[in-house]
Amino acid sequence: MSKKVNKVVLAYSGGLDTSVILKWLQDEYQCEVVTYTADLGQGEELEPARAKAKAAGVKEIFIDDVREEFVRDFVFPMFRANTVYEGEYLLGTSIARPLIAKRLIEVARDTNADAISHGATGKGNDQVRFELGAYALNPNIQIIAPWREWDLLSREKLMAYAEKHGIPVDMKHKQGGSPYSMDANLLHISYEGRHLEDPAAEAEESMWRWSVSPEQAPDAAEYLDIEYVNGDPVSLNGEVMKPHDLLAHLNKLGGKHGVGRLDLVENRFVGMKSRGCYETPGGTILLKAHRAIESITLDREVAHLKDDLMPRYASMIYNGYWWSPERLALQTLIDHTQASVNGWVRVKLYKGNVIVTGRDSKTNSLFDPNIATFEDDKGAYDQKDAGGFIKLNALRMRIAGNLRNKK
């Protein structure tokens, strides 16, 4: 146990784990607990969390709707970089953690709390993300991570503790609940554990919550027009939408067409490999559309530089370095490139696929049909120039080839 704690802000969902943590903090630290619950678009009713916290004696209860801030200030900046971790993962859980860390620190400041606490286990990435973010925003904050201190290291022990202390337990927990550890927000829903701990076992169809299987998706394709301003989507099929509303609508449309399912084994920051399944329908559409609008509005070398830097940027987010100086510096570069990323993209959704069928930018297109044409370009491009261009680029290889031939 660390130094004396008078008040702690707990990231609280109202589920089994954080309900046990709330009581454990009160007993072990003899401190006042403030609860903080974020509405990130997870699709669950959050008012029961307020009632549970109040019944546990909590006097200061915070429940925030941060959906717009989440998409506007975290998801969209990440998508400007076309961010994908290890070639596949769209970072749905990772990108939510810096926002929660930010709000925990703000609530701690506003309530004069001297510590924050979270329910992340000692094996996962979230403990790193929460705590790196918290320390970056308040270097002197004290952090309590119960899973690294207590001996309640199984569901059975948590249940026994809850029953001993009269903590209400949902029927789903008593009956075994979902066989998966799940996390949801407006960008995605994730599934880990139990059946999925065998990387060779196919995920059960009944597991998926947001999407139909491609086999069950409609036989008719659906077209969407997405408009971009400074690299961010602003309207869908001509209707201007707030960021969180646009993403929520894309989730429904993508899920309807079986878009956005992913099954992968990823490398956690703490060192182990982990198998997870993800549903990111709206994000999958936006990634494809954003690359399409960039294809006609970004200079070649700028686009390639972004592609070179993207894996490092993705690792920063995955590993919890959203608030680090290197991520902030890289974001400045990324955002600078997006000033010209304006226009529209048309995509077709069909049985799990997102197919780009058109893109245009009236103000920033670098596509010149007079030069690119396969017909007579009327002198816009002198094909004879290509000969010297090729010879100069081949010069070093020609020199090396002549040297080889002398040996």
**Active site members:** 17, 97, 126, 181
C-alpha distances (whole Å) from 37 to each of 9, 59, 134, 171 are 10, 14, 16, 22
- CA 266, chain centre distance (Å): 14
Residue 92 in tokens: 């749905």
Q: Catalogue the E-assigned strands of 77-177.
A: 115-117, 142-144
Per residue, what are the HEC states of 331-349?
A: HHHHHHHHHHCCEEEEEEE
- 370's enclosing H/E stretch is helix 369-372
**Using CA atoms in the order 249, 250, 251, 255, what is the torsion angle rounded to 10 degrees?**
120
Residue 391, CB-side half-sphere exposure with 13 Å CA sphere: 5
Helix orientation angle between 243-256 and 281-297, rounded to the nearest 10 degrees: 110
Query: Burial, 79: exposed, middle or buried (Cβ in 10 Å; 0-12, 13-18, 19+)?
Result: buried
Residues comprising the chain, all counted: 407
